[in-house]
Amino acid sequence: MLGIARGLLDRRWSVSFLGSSLHQAAIEASGVAFYRLQGAADLQRPAGPNSANVPEHDSLPWPQQQQQQAPPSAQGQSYQSLEALPDAYASLCAALSDLYSSSPGRRVVVLAEAFFYGAVALRLGAPLPEGVPERPRSLCVSVTPPAIRSADLPPFGFPFPFDPSAQGRARNAALWAEWERRAAPLTRLLDAKLREAGVVVAGKVGVLMAGGNYTCHERILQVGLPGLEYPRCDFPAQFRIVGIMPRSTTGSAKRPEFDWWSEILANSELAADDPARKKVVVVTQGTVQTNPDDLLIPAMQALSQREDVLVVMILGSRGARLPASVAMATNARVADYLSYGAVLPYTDLWVHNGGYGAVTQGIAHGIPMVIAGDGQDKPECAKRVGWSGIGLDLGVTRPGKERLGDAIEQVLREERFRARAEELKRESEAINIFDNVEEEILKVASEAPLPR
């Protein structure tokens, strides 16, 4: 979202960003105006399963996971989005009041990340404060795989593939019926919080995680690529895939300050067919679930005998260290924190736990991937990596040294993964996300104002 905000600012739009104080410094550093979320909406720690008090489930087999009333990806919303909904809407109203009062006659368009439910209350008719002359039009920006109900797909978190066949659609219909039952408590919570925010008619947004938080907006802007997204039969009419952040916005102008960084640069200057050139395998687990036993240590151990490979392990937070008991392989290099955009230009294989941002950055650099992760949107991201042909989806958080090593060896060995990743990279370069977002904003802004 901040990348889009910066892109619009560069095009001389007046941009304000409503966000958590956790991200205030980064938002203000980008040059856009900052409005702080209020009360429960001002999350003070990164969103993740532990922050939502969701039981750990990553290592459980599928039948045991399904004994839960709802998958953790949905349960986490109780803390991250639903409980905070009234305060999120109040925060949005406060920002709108200030914008309209500071520049009378201004037209305001809201770009709302899909799971910012404060904007859902806006769309469903919650009362506006005095001084806001119109109900702003809005665009949903989807920064995860779209959680919108489809006949061709099961609900989020169910481990079944895209299947548009008659048999697949029958299975999906049964799973959606099961999901409606299982998600009923959270759906009731969503309705209750919308009423608390002032929405009069209950049930207007529908079942949680079925897409009502997307389709209530005039436009749905999906960050992604056609080659990464399933060709489902029933995209909403207002749905548009707008592209991904280009490489130029994902890098870092500052050279990483690691004593081994010159080795990475020198390796990249060797010709691709030079026997001395090593394959660079970058392994990370993101910034929330950072247990090194999941991916980092197993990957290092699996590749420890490969003299033609350099393993770069990114721990995910500044000052982090591996446990002192870990025996470092001679071909491994460790970074506490390292910008993906800084290292991916020198990378041959990208191993991570399936965050959507990591997937799209890998595509922007044409890097094949091995994905092992669970929770949040990671299973859906991983399934798309496997389906699109740019890598392998291992389907678990902790695959173990042997399985992870086999997957890494396969992707390094088989050229088809690199070739497909390069295809999607070219596709991404042909789609300008900022042009597309701006075009949709202009369309919405040209439409007649909505009544209060």
CATH 3.40.50.2000 domain extents, the chain: 2-244+431-446, 254-429
The residue whose two tokens read 């491994």 is: 332
Gap between the Cα atoms of 117 and 109, Å rounded = 16
Q: Over 60: is that where the pLDDT of 60 sits?
A: no
- Which pLDDT value is given to residue 62? 35
Contact, 154 vs 125, CB < 8 A? no
- Which pLDDT value is given to residue 359? 96
- Write the pLDDT tens digit of every residue in 375-424: 778 899 999 999 999 999 998 889 999 999 999 999 999 999 999 999 99
Where does 91-179 show beta strands of DSSP type E?
109-113, 137-142
- Which pLDDT value is given to residue 50? 39
- Which pLDDT value is given to residue 373? 82
- Which pLDDT value is given to residue 71? 53
- Comparing C-alpha atoms, which of 244, 215, 148, 216 is closest to residue 436? 244
User: Which residues lie below 8 Å from residue 224, measured CB to CB, with a gap of 6+?
Assistant: 142, 145, 241, 242, 243, 244, 360
- Which pLDDT value is given to residue 376? 77
- Comparing C-alpha atoms, which of 118, 132, 130, 145 is closest to residue 216? 118
Mean pLDDT of the chain: 90
CATH number at 2-244+431-446: 3.40.50.2000
CA 357 to mean position of chain CA atoms: 5
- Write the pLDDT tens digit of every residue in 266-317: 999 999 999 999 999 999 987 666 788 899 999 999 999 999 999 999 998 8
Q: Where are the alpha helices (DSSP H) in 32-165?
A: 62-65, 72-77, 85-102, 117-123
CA 445 to mean position of chain CA atoms: 27
Check residues 203 and 134 and name the one with the higher pLDDT: 134
Gap between the Cα atoms of 145 and 384, Å rounded = 9
Where does 315-396 show beta strands of DSSP type E?
332-335, 349-352, 369-371, 391-393
Q: Over 60: is that where the pLDDT of 170 sits?
A: yes
Homologous superfamily of 254-429: Glycogen Phosphorylase B; (3.40.50.2000)
- Write the pLDDT tens digit of every residue in 32-49: 999 999 999 998 765 444
Tell me the pLDDT band of 259, cut-offs 50, 70 and 90. very high
